[in-house]
């Protein structure tokens, strides 16, 4: 039986969530936080968004969007329903729920970098109050919530599970995927205590069609890693199969399409020029780092990581071979990279293998340009710099390049126009299914 204080805080919180009078605080208004914001606003909650980027905050408060697949009308509707964005962390006491959606990158030694999560938590703590639920959605290693966030809450004198409630509920957004939205993607949730889990289920239940409870925050953290490592390992497998098929002069995409006709026991994964995005290239390292603390060596996961990391070098080798067969070297060649976002039909460039391809080719002396309808100007990036704008694809511009490297297969590209006028195409995505004299598969 709960004690009186626990019962009062929890029952008041769950009642406010149930009748949608609770205020939802979303910290981090990017690819995860913004769709979640819009979903809560759509079901009648007042949402306070907090982000350190004043430009994002100003854009949202003006009713505009900075993410291509989120339209301004959705932002305007949320604003009409009471959504407000701010850079002011001192307002963290206003919401009844604080949902943390900030990045978890790797440091230069490929170890977890929790600086965004911990910095955000520390910025919220002075303004928190009893009766709030805190949910971490950022992908991380098992134990983060209990080992890092819970002690910080307790250092402020809060009793977790009685005065404040702590959960981990990993994000599952898939930007640009028209088949799923925030509402329809089941939500895994684990709590620090049974009362915390109850608060987490009350938090997500009104906004998400199906909430999946698990026994602990550690189980929820590992669930997210398993999901992404599953993809990373299978992509590593199919990338290795691609190399084997290439040596045997077999089209791996034809093989995958044929194998996918099996109605059981096979799930198709597709090769590419490397892994991109904020999750798949990074998340396996969160588990391998944590596993070392238990004396374990994650050989299978790390091998897949090595294969995927080598893909940009393999693709550049295919570009070099294709040019050599036409009497040219990479040095001095004009190369047009098609698609520099990390995946189809989005503008997100985090960990994009296309950028590594551009750098590798530039380092070999090629003149490199790019075309991407979602990235009109090459953005500022912490580790990469190109002073370039997207090239307009015309018969004349396409024909002016020695090789067109198809790196990201955006729907907006006119692939027949490209095939017709390109001198040479190196296709890393299997777009050109039939054999073409000017197409090389990579």
What is the architecture, at CATH level 2, of domain 230-441? 3-Layer(aba) Sandwich (3.40)
The band of 114, judged by pLDDT with boundaries at 50, 70 and 90, is very high
| Confidence label for 1 from pLDDT (cuts 50, 70 and 90) | very low
- What is residue 169's predicted lDDT score, i.e. its pLDDT? 98
CA 131: distance to chain centroid? 31
pLDDT, average across residues 176-193: 92
How far is C-alpha 124 from the chain's CA centre? 24
The pLDDT of 374-389, averaged and rounded, is 88
pLDDT digits (tens, 9 = 90+) for 405-436: 999 999 999 999 999 999 999 999 999 988 89
Share above pLDDT 90 across residues of the chain, in percent, rounded to a whole number: 87
* Burial (Cβ within 10 Å: 0-12, 13-18, ≥19) of residue 327: exposed
Which contiguous run of DSSP H or E holds residue 33?
A: helix 33-42
CA–CA separation, 162 and 8 (whole Å): 9
**pLDDT confidence of 6, banded at 50, 70, 90?**
low
Residue 23 · residue 95 · CB < 8 Å: yes
Tell me the sheet residues that pair with 191: 167
CATH topology of domain 4-215: Rossmann fold (3.40.50)
For 237-261, write each residue's pLDDT tens digit.
999 999 999 999 999 999 999 999 9
How are strands ordered across the β-sheet holding 334-338? Answer: 367-371, 334-338, 403-406, 425-427, 439-441
Name the 3-class secondary structure at 320.
Answer: helix
Domain range list for the chain = 4-215, 230-441
Mean pLDDT rounded to a whole number for the chain? 94
Per-residue DSSP letter, 62: T
Say if residue 4's pLDDT is above 50.
no
Q: Which residues are catalytic?
A: 279
Would 4-215 and 230-441 be classified into the same CATH topology? yes
101's torsion region: left (phi>0), alpha (psi -120 to 50) or beta?
A: beta
Pairing of strands 165-168, 403-406: unpaired
Tokens describing residue 213? 């409870």
pLDDT recorded at residue 262: 97
- So what's the pLDDT on residue 115? 96
Evaluate if residue 224 carries a pLDDT over 60.
Answer: yes
Residues 6+ apart with CB under 8 A from 7: none
Can you tell me which residue has the tokens 């009893």?
Answer: 130
Per-residue pLDDT tens digits for 320-365? 999 999 999 999 999 999 999 999 999 988 889 999 999 999 999 9
Please check whether residue 373 is in contact with residue 302, taking contact to mean a CB–CB distance below 8 angstroms.
no
Terminal CA-to-CA distance of the chain, rounded, Å?
A: 63
pLDDT confidence of residue 387: 92
Of 72, 71, 8, 59, nearest in space to 29 by CA: 59
Asked whether residue 281 carries a pLDDT value surpassing 90, the answer given is no
Which residue pairs from 388-397 have beta carbons closer than 8 angstroms and sit at least 24 positions apart in sequence? 391/336, 393/417, 393/418, 395/420, 395/421, 397/336
Distance CA 140, CA 179 (A): 26
Tokens of 57: 């905050």
Instruction: Count the Cβ atoms, other than its own, within 10 Å of residue 180.
Output: 11
Cα–Cα distance between 368 and 354 in angstroms, integer?
11
């Amino acid at each position: 039986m709960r004690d009186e204080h626990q019962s009062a805080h929890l029952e008041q919180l769950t009642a406010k969530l149930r009748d949608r009078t609770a205020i939802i605080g979303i910290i981090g208004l990017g690819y995860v936080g913004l769709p979640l914001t819009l979903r809560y606003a759509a079901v009648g909650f007042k949402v306070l968004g907090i982000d350190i980027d004043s430009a994002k905050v100003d854009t949202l408060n003006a009713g505009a969007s900075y993410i291509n697949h989120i339209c301004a009308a959705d932002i305007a509707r949320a604003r009409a329903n009471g959504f407000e964005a701010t850079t002011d962390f001192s307002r963290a006491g206003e919401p009844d729920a604080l949902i943390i959606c900030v990045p978890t990158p790797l440091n230069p030694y490929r170890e977890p970098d929790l600086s965004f999560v911990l910095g955000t938590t520390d910025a919220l703590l002075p303004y928190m109050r009893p009766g709030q639920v805190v949910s971490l959605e950022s992908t991380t290693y098992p134990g983060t919530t209990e080992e890092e966030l819970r002690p910080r809450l307790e250092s402020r004198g809060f009793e977790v599970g009685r005065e404040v409630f702590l959960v981990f509920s990993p994000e599952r957004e898939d930007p640009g995927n028209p088949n799923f939205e925030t509402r329809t993607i089941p939500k895994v949730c684990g709590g620090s205590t049974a009362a915390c889990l109850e608060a987490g289920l009350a938090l997500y239940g009104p906004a998400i069609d199906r909430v999946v409870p698990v026994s602990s925050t550690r189980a929820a953290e590992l669930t997210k890693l398993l999901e992404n490592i599953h993809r990373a390992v299978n992509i590593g497998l199919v990338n290795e199969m691609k190399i084997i098929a290439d040596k045997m002069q077999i089209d791996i995409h034809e093989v995958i399409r044929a194998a996918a006709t099996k109605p059981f026991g096979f799930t198709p994964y597709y090769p590419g020029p490397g892994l991109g995005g904020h999750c798949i290239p990074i998340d396996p390292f969160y588990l391998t780092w944590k596993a070392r603390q238990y004396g374990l060596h994650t050989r299978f996961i790390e091998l897949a990581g090595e294969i995927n990391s080598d893909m940009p070098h393999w693709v550049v080798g295919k570009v070099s071979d294709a040019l050599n067969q036409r009497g040219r070297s990479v040095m001095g060649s004009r190369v047009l990279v098609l698609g520099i976002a990390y995946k189809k039909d989005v503008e997100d460039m985090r960990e994009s293998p296309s950028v590594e391809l551009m750098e590798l080719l530039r380092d070999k002396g090629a003149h490199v340009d790019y075309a991407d309808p979602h990235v009109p100007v090459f953005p500022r990036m912490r580790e990469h710099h190109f002073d370039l704008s997207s090239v307009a694809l015309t018969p004349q511009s396409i024909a002016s390049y020695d090789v067109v490297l198809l790196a990201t297969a955006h729907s907006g590209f006119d692939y027949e126009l490209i095939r017709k006028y390109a001198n040479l195409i190196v296709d890393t995505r299997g777009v050109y299914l039939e054999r073409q004299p000017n197409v090389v598969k990579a």
